[in-house]
Amino acid sequence: MNLLNPLIFTIFTPVFGSFFLLFIPGSNVRLCRNIALISSLFTFLFSLVIWLQFDSLNLNYQFLFSLAWFPSFNLYYTIGVDGLSIFFVILTTFLLIICILASWDTVHYYLKEYLICFLLLEFLLLQVFCVLDLIFFYMFFESLLMPMFLIIGIWGARTRKIRAAYQFFLYTLIGSLLMLLAILVVYFHAGTTDVQVISNLIFPVKTQMILWLAFFIGFAIKIPMIPFHIWLPEAHAEAPTAGSIILAGVLLKIGGYGFLRFSLPMFPVATIFFSPVIFVLSISAILYASLITLCQIDFKKIIAYSSVSHMGFVTLGIFTLNVQGIEGSLFLMLGHALVSSALFLCVGLLYDRHHTRIIKYYNGLVQVMPIFLSFFLFFSFANLGFPATSNFIGEFLILLGSFKVNTFLTILSALGLILSAAYSSWLVNRISFGPLKITYLTTFQDLSRRELLMLVVLCFIVLWLGIYPVLFLDEIHLFVFYLLAQFI
């Protein structure tokens, strides 16, 4: 048992940060913020240590730590990272820093409790990406609901926040109950829920079909796929800015992670059988969500529906079952996490100044907020997959992978890129140019230094991923090749 394992420090640092916050008076706002920020910074630094020490040529899980839970039932708490999970760990720790900085001056009540919720959410997310036991995965997967429910329901922006919180909670809870039953079937069949053991077992074909469907429901709601997407626009519209950032940046990616970690390696026959269904649902999500986006009048709902469209590309790439498609899906998940987080941050900055997200009240902002509009233009173009940005690499690889499967499938999915360009360019043009509507908006302020710092860092990483993607793709190559070996 290596207690100096950097993965242990990464996962449990947020818990220590939230523990210290319990003993700080809520009235001491500055100290609460500083403790939460320092805790998230240390967590991020520990995750970078993991990346620096990670061996991309080693197929096995690394930084393993195991603790007996119920040894008589062959149940152990085991954590580790591989080429799939390492960047989700880094993404989570990075975006938590952005969440805390985005909430620096905007949360005016129950700040201590708000920060504790985010630190606990970070802890649970890291557990989801690192734990190597199905029972523990389900426990942490479900536990995510509580802090997110509180963040939306208590610190949400509008009166519909309670409804949105319950909708988010019930959709995810009901969907994952089937997954719990499937995990019990796996346990009785294999005698263990250790992912390292189960991934090497071969389940009977009929059993694979049933288990695949049970896991699919839980992960499809989390992504979310059409028609399981109803909760997402409401949750985004009512959540505070930091809540939308973590929801779009990390929580939506758990579904894609679950498919790659569990559904594909454990149930390969069922995956091949149901792939055509996934293709139909993915194309429906890409086109339907893009068309719905064109009809929205709320900033957040535009970004939320565009996220549904991008997640359609992700599921399409995963189930192409080739190297380009799966690597493109992983890359798009990382790129979309950064771009959508930046867009939600931009919308949050506007909302903090003018207290509305309705597009018709905004015109001519380039005259009074030129720096803000420059960043909003960049991230809007990144969202539509402009070359030299992260989304372009992911979407290009996915289209390349889908072309190997079906040409007509690729043409239909490419229509989503055209629609994405339509709503992104329309939105930028709508708020940038024209006369200022001073009847509704009377005071204007461009970016502060804190806001500028966050957007510059996000801009730099999006460009880094788009210009030099090989640094990230090299880490996931081995995992993808091993995964696809299950289908040979």
- Distance (Å, whole) CA 248 – CA 339: 10
Task: Specify the pLDDT at position 23.
Answer: 87
Domains of the chain, residue spans: 6-485
Q: Which residue has the tokens 């149901």?
A: 274
Task: Specify the pLDDT at position 455.
Answer: 94
- Find the length of the chain: 488
pTM: 0.93
- Distance (Å, whole) CA 374 – CA 377: 5
What's the token pair of residue 308? 């549904």
Task: Specify the pLDDT at position 317.
Answer: 93
| Residue 192 backbone phi and psi in degrees, to 5 | -160, 160
Closest CA to 430 of 296, 307, 232: 296
Task: Specify the pLDDT at position 339.
Answer: 94
Is 332 within 8 Å of 389 (Cβ atoms)?
A: no
Q: Give CA 403 to chain center in angstroms.
A: 26
Task: Name the stretches of the chain with pLDDT < 50.
Answer: none
> How wide is the angle at C-alpha 41 spanned by C-alphas 168 and 89, nearest 5°?
55
Task: Specify the pLDDT at position 3.
Answer: 61
Q: What is the pLDDT of residues 291-332, one digit of tens each?
A: 888 888 888 888 888 888 899 999 999 999 999 999 999 999
Q: How, if at all, do strands 62-70 and 75-81 pair?
A: antiparallel
What's the token pair of residue 41? 């910074």
Task: Specify the pLDDT at position 158.
Answer: 66
Distances in Å between the alpha carbon of 151 and those of 115, 119, 410? 10, 12, 39
What's the token pair of residue 1? 């048992």
Q: Which residues pair with 298 in a beta bridge?
A: 358
> How wide is the angle at C-alpha 201 spanned by C-alphas 196 and 202, nearest 5°?
150
Closest CA to 293 of 283, 275, 306, 279: 306
Q: Which residue has the tokens 């460009």?
A: 463
Q: Which residue has the tokens 């708020």?
A: 431
- Mean pLDDT value across the chain: 88
- Per-residue burial over 248-268, b = 16 or more CB atoms within 10 Å of its CB, e = otherwise: bbbbbbbbbbbbbbbbbbbbb
